[in-house]
Structure 1
Amino acid sequence: MHAETLTPERILNATVDVLRRYGPNKATVVDVARELGVSHGSVYRHFASKSALLDAVAERWLAEISAPLDDVLQRQDRSVAKLRAWLECLMHTKQQRASQDPQLFATYSGLVLGLRQVTDQHVAHMIAQIERLVHEGVANAEFVVNDANATATAIWHATARFHNPLFVAAWSEPSLAAEFEAVWELMINGLLVR
């Protein structure tokens, strides 16, 4: 029987299993290697350190969350509708993951929050996508703003309660949809051309 090739993807998958069992603080590269049936040196050939491995796991998780948002950006629709769809997609993706596997979501969230560079890159990417939608809205004469980046950043922060893992406990509250609607109305009334 031929041994399965050790790839970065296999290592990342095994790391997720190890993180689920031990959490990011207790999980080790040796645990990942044991899960794969290889030496820890084999893992280090693909990832230089535990930090590099955890960065890669976090980046992959954030990319999985971000992927559906790219589809929203490609839609042929009014900017108002696209912005709302983008925000709802982000919220539903994170909220669904949190409800389907709360333990793993908490592990990922804790991991990501501890990785400042990965988190900053993700937030910058998200704000850039919102900024793109704001620019489209201005170009289509739907929105009026002075600074698209500042507006996008404000939208990101105004909606944090609905997508930031720090607020996961609030995501099961019955009032969440109404709260989002109130924030949406406030934001959109500030953006729309009158």
Structure 2
Amino acid sequence: MAPSTETLTAERILEATEEVLRRHGPAKATVVDVARALGVSHGSVYRHFRTKAALREAVTKRWLDRTAEGLAAFASGPGDPEARLRDWLRSLFDAKRRKAGDDPELFATYRVLAAESAEAVAAHIADLIGQLTRIVEEGVGTGTFAVPDPAAAARAVFQASGRFHDPGYARVWTRPEAQADFASLVDLLVRGLRG
């Protein structure tokens, strides 16, 4: 193994781990494989991530954070709350479909790692529901929505739309009726928020 000339950072390790997971799958990928891909010893990887589980959880969190960051602009941006809610839901659905369709091996790996990382997934869901809550609160403030508890309404919207973002439903996202089903659900949710 030739020593790496680049400084070893947590970000570089996570990038390499993602590639190793894509290539070998979660069952066969090891910290030694990650170290080999980086040209360092496995001890160097362990200095950044104390265990294999910690490394896998960090990769999962990184994937989840990318999704949340992509949606954050809709939660805090300007504009009509209803349009922002529709855009937020559409962007989440589109992001999940892209991940499942563009890189099915990595998406399958993501599903395995997400199942192992309950804490990271729970924090991610809380973040997404928090974003929805901000949109609904602003909608209540402008009179667009008429719900007594924006946080409860946001949680309900997230749960009701699960078929279009929960990885367990990935197989139905490409069905011909998926787009129409999604549009119908969003229309129903918006009508419910209007009161």
TMscore range, shorter length: over 0.9
Structure 1 residue runs without a partner (length 5+): none
CA distance in 2, matches of 1:17, 1:82: 34
> 1:177 aligns to what?
179
Structure 1's consecutive aligned runs of 4 or more residues displaced over 4 angstroms after TM superposition are none
Match of 1:55 among 42, 54, 57: 57
Structure 1 residues 111-147: Cα deviation after superposition (integer angstroms, max 9, x where no partner): 1122100110000000011011110000001111121
SS at match of 1:173: coil
CA distance in 2, matches of 1:164, 1:50: 26
Q: 1:148 to 1:74 in 2, by over 3 A?
A: closer
CA distance in 2, matches of 1:38, 1:75: 43
Checking the alignment, whether the CA contact within 8 Å between 2:93 and 2:165 is kept in structure 1 is: yes
Question: More displaced, 123-132 or 30-39?
Answer: 30-39
CA distance in 2, matches of 1:2, 1:111: 28
CA-based RMSD: 1.5
Residue 16 (structure 1) shift: 0.8
- The question of 1:167 aligning with 2:169 is answered yes
CA distance in 2, matches of 1:74, 1:145: 19
Q: 1:82 to 1:2 in 2, by over 3 A?
A: closer
CA distance in 1, matches of 2:187, 2:129: 20
> 1:125 aligns to what?
127
Residue 93 (structure 1) shift: 1.1
Residue 182 (structure 1) shift: 1.6
Match of 2:68 among 46, 66, 69: 66
AA of the residue aligned to 2:98: Q
Q: How many residues align?
A: 193
Match of 2:156 among 154, 168, 190: 154
CA distance in 2, matches of 1:117, 1:2: 33
SS at match of 2:70: helix
Give the percent of matched residue pairs that are identical in Structure 1 and Structure 2. 46
AA of the residue aligned to 2:93: M
Checking the alignment, whether the CA contact within 8 Å between 2:10 and 2:48 is kept in structure 1 is: yes
Residue 153 (structure 1) shift: 0.9
SS at match of 1:172: coil
Match of 2:117 among 115, 118, 143: 115
Checking the alignment, whether the CA contact within 8 Å between 2:4 and 2:39 is kept in structure 1 is: no
Q: 1:131 to 1:2 in 2, by over 3 A?
A: closer
Alignment of 1:1-194 (within 5 A): 3-193=5-195
